[in-house]
Amino acid sequence: MSALQGLKVLELGTLIAGPFAARMFGEFGAEVIKVETPPGPDGKGGGDPIRSWRHLHEGNSLWWAVQARNKQSIGLNLKDPRGREIARALALQADIIIENYRPGVLEKWGLGYEDLRAINPAVIMLRLSGYGQTGPMRDLPGFGAIGESMGGLRYVSGHPDRPPVRVGISIGDSLAALHGVIGAMMALRHRDATGGRWNGQTGEACRAGQGQMVDVALYESVFNVMESLVPEYDMAGVVRERTGGALPGIVPSNTYTTSDGQNIVIAGNGDAIFHRLMRAIGRDDLAEDPELVRNDGRARRVGEIDGAIQQWCDGQTIEQALQTLRQADVPVGKIYSVADMFADPQFLARGMIEQHHFPDGEPVKLPAVVPKLSATPGGTRWLGPRLGEHTEAVLKSLGYDSATISELAKTGAIST
């Protein structure tokens, strides 16, 4: 049995934040119907833009196989009144609607939250945007990179003598998606408490209870993980700056280089851990120094401590360093590439790399679903679908006959 069996999700988003949120619902058993723009009159284009991002297989991105797994794809032209009529019919059945258009776009089409709440008061609409649904910047375009910058992450990322850098993935979008899933699940809990009837065991859909809008801004999702940034500035006038691989004010926690040119992260910032670390690297003098017993004292001598650790690393290969520090019960780790992950016994023991096959039989490995639930685990039922693969089946479930579906396809309102 799946955790979200019977839950119906309508995805109106594109690219990363909205689809990532919908993907997580699908991974745990929800029925996810993804609306995609049909191809143009020439048969080209259409679909979620992420279909053509990065490395492709048979015309679709390998990323698509992950981002759209377990979803049904319908080609639906929301600029066409007949397409919007179908969207409203789907909204009437939905428990959760996920969208990440610029604020005001859905309202222009008569598909905004107030419009859909009028026909389905129990619906939960998760809205992800750059700046949220209110405020003076609500109408501006905002991608994850902008959210990372405005939310404070870019400012503190990198080395102090160089310009800020980006994290190597679309972390702003992913953080927004995760906040969105949390918010939607809270809204589901509230709906259940106000008369909802969704039953995950029987798959009975909920058409009662109080729905609501979940408003997620990308910059706020980034801002929410910025730790003590605000009170430090407010109370102490401290502006957190870039510190490279170190964790500012928490000592020692940094990236060091071993004799074979490998990078290793050592986190000896707990008081007892620091003592064990210094003994392991032969610096009993620092282990017993009364000024270094607590973190505040170590923070004042960070350069000396980091220098001692790096000096020790200069004489160790990465495997020697890992073995020594693990034996001393010090948190330590190699910085993994994806090649390291494929060979790592911990990844393999936990089943974090899954084997699947494309429709043409070509094998492909995907990341496994997380988090891991003991009773109702998530999973991959199928890979990202072709554009419009499920249009006909979904429309027939709404009562459309084959002749009507054919006519809608001919006029460009849908694609199959």
The per-residue pLDDT for 201 is: 46
Give the max Cα distance, the chain: 85
The catalytically annotated residue of 48, 173, 215, 306 is 173
CA–CA gap between residue 186 and residue 230 (Å, rounded): 26
Return the bridge partners of 97, or none: 10, 125
Return the bridge partners of 366, or none: 354
Which residues, at least 6 apart from 338, have a Cβ–Cβ distance to it below 8 Å?
none
Domains for the chain: give ranges and CATH numbers: 8-226+350-415 (3.40.50.10540), 253-257+263-334 (3.30.1540.10)
Question: Backbone phi, then psi, for 381, in 5-degree steps?
Answer: -90, -35
pTM over 0.95, yes/no: no
Cβ atoms of residues 332 and 325 within 8 Å: yes
Q: Annotate 111-173 with three-state secondary structure.
A: CCHHHHHHHCCCCEEEEEECCCCCCCCCCCCCCHHHHHHHCCCHHHCCCCCCCCCCCCCCHHH
pLDDT tens track of the chain, all 416 residues?
Answer: 899 999 999 999 899 999 999 999 999 999 999 999 999 888 888 999 999 999 999 888 999 999 999 999 999 999 999 999 999 999 999 999 999 999 999 999 999 999 999 999 999 999 999 999 999 999 999 999 999 999 999 999 999 999 999 999 999 999 999 999 999 999 999 999 998 755 544 445 556 899 999 999 999 999 999 999 999 999 999 999 999 998 888 999 999 999 999 999 999 999 999 999 999 999 999 999 999 999 999 999 999 999 999 999 999 999 999 999 999 999 999 999 999 999 999 999 999 999 999 999 999 999 999 999 999 999 999 999 999 999 999 999 999 999 999 999 999 999 99
Tokens of 42: 């020439």
Q: Which segments of 59-126 does DSSP mark as H helices, in order?
A: 62-67, 81-93, 105-108, 113-119
Cβ atoms of residues 142 and 228 within 8 Å: no
Tokens of 228: 């003590």
Radius of gyration of the chain measured on its C-alpha atoms? 25
Tokens of 323: 């073995």
Tokens of 182: 């949390």
- Residue 42 known to be catalytic: no
Q: Is the dihedral of CA 346, 347, 351, 355 positive or negative?
A: negative
**Interstrand relation of 60-61 and 124-129 (parallel, antiparallel or unpaired):** unpaired
The per-residue pLDDT for 197 is: 59
CA–CA gap between residue 75 and residue 116 (Å, rounded): 20
Give the length of the chain. Answer: 416
Distances in Å between the alpha carbon of 39 and those of 34, 59, 106, 110?
15, 14, 20, 23
Query: Is the backbone of residue 287 left (phi > 0), alpha (psi -120 to 50) or beta?
Result: alpha
Distances in Å between the alpha carbon of 42 and those of 23, 51, 52, 197, 324?
30, 18, 18, 46, 64
Question: Backbone phi, then psi, for 354, in 5-degree steps?
Answer: -100, 145
Cβ atoms of residues 331 and 266 within 8 Å: yes
Buried b (16+ CB within 10 A) or exposed e, 308-323: bbeebbeebebeebbe
CA–CA gap between residue 67 and residue 44 (Å, rounded): 22
Tokens of 82: 């007949």
The per-residue pLDDT for 248 is: 83
